[in-house]
Amino acid sequence: LSLGEATADANVPHDSEIYSSFKGYRVYRLQANSTKAFDALVKLHDEGDLDFWKAPSFRGETDIMVNGNQEKELKDFMGFYKIDNTVLIDDLDILMNGQRLGRLKSDGKAMSWTEYHYMETIFDWLDGLATFYPELVTLYTIGMTTDGNPLKLVKISVGRKDRHKPGVYIDALYHGREWISASVATWIINELVTAPSRYSTLLKNFDFYIMPIMNPDGYAHSCNYNRLWRKSRKASGTWADFLGCRGVDLNRNFGFHFGGPGSGTIPCSLIYRGTHAFSEPETSAVRDFIYENRNVKWAAYFALHSYGQKWMTPWGFTEVKPVDYDELIRVARIGVAAIESHRGTKYDVGSAPDVLYMASGGSDDWFKGAAGCKYSYTIELPDYGFYGFLLPSWEIIPSANETWFGISTALRSIARMR
């Protein structure tokens, strides 16, 4: 039943009239200043009734989306615990209009960064790249999702195909609503493929493996039904399906310290980790791809998420730092300095628990802890919260430009270390 439903979902035309409206929705930014208030926030988060755009962290801020009914309860709650707060987004419905979804000819050549794009357009473009740049590009479909969408990964490599250079792995769109991450990933692919001479040092040192859409089902759902969908879309086969609580948080499903703090056990949780490590087609496809490519030494990993402007290191599952933490921070600082030099965008640097919150089962931890990738990072792309997930289309190019400048500068530093 649930599977058939999901397939039907995926086929509904894009201008669906049932696209969720967010009239009267607001986003609040909270700052809990006492342990008591923080503990209450964590409890509210774990109850799972509210959409936390940013989960609670002790030192940092917490962003919560509410509708008209929930707003009054939240205000009472904040008053009771004396939690400082501001309205981050006053009217979500208005911001929804700022993200244009492009309609390009699907001839495999068309791509643009002045608007966002449907999954189908992005995949057609990837297919085209493999056709038009066979010397540079190898396209893999490393698995299929529950809704029958492909998990596509491009390898960009110069020189002899029988030799492996150290790998740089970049992926994006773990979470359906984080549209900017896929656009940045396609921008990076485009730069490397259309201007390889500009990146000859990088391409001499590394092979690039880039997966712009880790969660196609969640992205399709965000494009077609509910802009703010986060998780994947697989039914859990439990009572939760009848409440509409689909999917797993793919960034809690990786098999390194799976099940630790900051990951949910109930299917309705926004950070539901799934039944066991790699229980999901998306995550197990990545694991299998890495296992099948055992001869690749992974030099660097970048998981692109949004929002918050943070360049984060492992570990995510504990406040304990990896032994080479200082070196990871050194390179991260080089990256954010490059980003800031571009147009002044400021990033926080630190481990995930230090600058955001603790979360277990993340891809960054697995790449470092299990795949042996030293320089493993999660990047929270712009913005800082003014638009949140609803970053307008005109921000795509500047964001992509500065991010790639940051990552490529960091990579040059990593290459010099080897």
List residues with catalytic annotation: 380
Give the footprint of Zn ion on this chain (CB under 5 A).
175, 178, 305
Burial class, 95, CB count within 10 angstroms (exposed 0-12 / middle 13-18 / buried 19+) = buried
Identity of residue 237: G
Residue 378 contact among Zn ion, ligand ARG, none, beta carbon within 5 to 8 Å by kind: ligand ARG
Tokens of 354: 């230090």
- Which residue of the chain is nearest ligand ARG when measured via CB? 316
CB of 342 to ligand ARG, least distance (A): 23
Which 242-281 residues touch ligand ARG, going by CB under 6 A?
A: 251
* Residue 37 touches which of Zn ion, ligand ARG, none (Cβ within 5-8 Å per kind): none
From CA 109, how far away is CA 131, in angstroms rounded?
10
Place of tokens 């960009």: 156
> What does the DSSP 8-state code read for residue 360?
S
3-class state of residue 321 by DSSP:
coil
Strands 26-31 and 310-313: unpaired
In the complex with Zn ion, which residue's Cβ is closer, 199 or 307?
307
Q: What long-range pairs does 121-126 form, CB within 8 A, spacing at least 24?
A: 122/182, 122/186, 122/212, 122/213, 123/150, 123/152, 123/213, 125/186, 126/152, 126/154, 126/189, 126/212
Helix (H, G, I), strand (E, B) or coil at 12: coil
- Nearest to ligand ARG of 154, 270 (CB atom): 270
- Kindly state the tokens that stand for 88: 């981050």
Partners of 53 in beta bridges:
none
Q: Which of 281, 316, 322, 406 binds ligand ARG (CB under 6 A)?
A: 316
Nearer to ligand ARG, 36 or 59 (CB): 59
Q: Given the complex with ligand ARG, which of 56 and 362 has the nearer CB atom?
A: 362
The radius of gyration of the chain's CA atoms, rounded to the nearest angstrom, is 20
Does residue number 365 form part of the binding site for ligand ARG (CB under 6 A)?
A: yes
Helix (H), strand (E) at residue 192: helix 179-194
Quote the tokens at residue 139.
């396209």
State in angstroms the smallest separation of the CB of 282 from ligand ARG. 14
**Closer to Zn ion at the Cβ: 83 or 214?**
214
Q: Per CB under 6 A, does 352 bind ligand ARG?
A: yes
Tell whether residue 56 is a contact of ligand ARG (CB under 6 A).
no
Task: Pick from 362, 385, 388, 406 the residue near ligand ARG by CB under 6 A.
Answer: 362
Stretch that binds ligand ARG, among 31-39, 70-78, 111-119, 358-366 (CB under 6 A): 358-366
Give, as ranges, the residues between 293 and 312 that touch ligand ARG (CB under 6 A). 305, 312
Closest to ligand ARG by CB, 42 or 139 = 42
Instruction: Label residues 402-413 b or e (16+ Cβ within 10 Å = b).
Output: bbbbbbbbbbee
Identify the residue among 359, 373, 391, 396 touching ligand ARG (CB under 6 A). 359
Question: Which residues here bind ligand ARG, judged by CB under 6 A?
Answer: 251, 305, 312, 316, 352, 356, 359, 362, 364-365, 378
